[in-house]
Amino acid sequence: MEHTEGFLKLVEDAKTRVREVNVEEARRRLAANDGAHLIDVREDNEWQRGHASGAEHMGRGIIERDLETKIPDKGAELILYCGGGYRSALAADNLQRMGYTSVYSLAGGWKAWRESGAPVEGADEN
């Protein structure tokens, strides 16, 4: 996908404050911590086409609004992913501003998850 210069600048700024993990590290963290959450911040139609096994869906448009109700523990480990790691970085930056202290963005996003052979659910499973 082509991204505009302004969008990329915004993402690069957010990434200076956000911790990123690769797929292997994300899977290790999820396996080691029953309280960790893998959150897909993509749009509804992207989620419906397939998503990481065990992921929760809170699209980029609502995560800041709904997260405190669904996951009130500000110390909960949150690993966010989107299509390629851009929107998840923006969301992670905002969640940190909201007081969440253990937030990560999945480097490479859904694309990296799929390419690694990590388990998926939904229409794209095959």
Six token digits for residue 16: 């200076």
pLDDT bracket for residue 124 (50, 70, 90): low
Catalytically annotated residues:
82
The whole-number pLDDT of residue 2 equals: 86
The answer to the question of residue 126 being in a domain is no
Domain tally, the chain: 1
The answer to the question of residue 92 being in a domain is yes
Domain of residue 63, residue span = 5-121
Rounded-to-integer distance, Cα 37 and Cα 7, Å: 26
Q: Give residues with Cβ within 8 angstroms of 118, minimum separation 6.
A: 23, 27, 52, 53
User: For residues 49 and 83, is the Cβ–Cβ distance under 8 A?
Assistant: no
Whether the predicted pLDDT of 125 surpasses 80: no
CATH number for position 59? 3.40.250.10
Please write the tens of the pLDDT for every residue from 5-37: 999 999 999 999 999 999 999 999 999 999 999
pTM (predicted TM-score): 0.93
Q: What is the mean pLDDT of the chain?
A: 95
Six token digits for residue 75: 């110390």
Please write the tens of the pLDDT for every residue from 36-70: 999 999 999 999 999 999 999 999 989 999 999 99
Please write the tens of the pLDDT for every residue from 90-100: 999 999 999 99
